[in-house]
Amino acid sequence: MTILSTSTLEGTDVKSPAGEGLGEIKDLMIDLSSGRVAYAVIEFGGLLGIGSKLFAVPMQALKQDAANKCFVMDTNKEALENASGFDKDHWPDFADRKWQTAVHAHYNTPPYWG
């Protein structure tokens, strides 16, 4: 088991299984009732943060690749671009179960609360 601080994970690259860059972790969302990290917020696209989009990705969709100091997500750029994203000034309601269910369905992961 590895235990890391959230600040250690911020800025960590996220890649597809083929090695294409899918962005980097900007934040982690914690479910305070269970103490679990529910979502990683990934920033993708744009240039130096301008024009980029944020995506909430269930933690179950990310696999740690310690050797390459990144996370791997079983998707590609096109699928990520088609996901429901948001900008830094308009975050979704992470407590909305309808929104959560849609996010888990998109990434084909079981809801963490189930």
pLDDT by residue for the chain (114 residues), tens digit each?
Answer: 577 788 889 999 999 999 999 999 999 999 999 889 999 999 987 666 567 899 999 999 999 998 999 999 998 888 888 888 998 899 999 999 999 999 999 999 999 887
- The residue type found at 31 is D
pLDDT at 1: 52
**Which DSSP helix (H) or strand (E) runs through 22?**
strand 21-31
Question: In whole angstroms, what is the distance from residue 86 CA to residue 83 CA?
Answer: 10
* Domain made up of 6-106: CATH architecture: Roll (2.30)
- State the Cα–Cα distance between residues 53 and 63, nearest whole angstrom: 21
Q: Which residues contact 79 (CB under 8 A, 6 or more apart)?
A: none
The three-state (H, E, C) secondary structure of 28-85, written as one string: EEEECCCCEEEEEEEEECCECCECCEEEEEEHHHEEEEHHHCEEEECCCHHHHHCCCC
Residue 77 confidence (pLDDT): 86
* Domains of the chain, residue spans: 6-106
Alpha-carbon gap, residue 12 to 112, rounded angstroms: 22
Question: Measuring CA to CA, which residue among 56, 53, 52, 64 is closest to residue 13?
Answer: 64
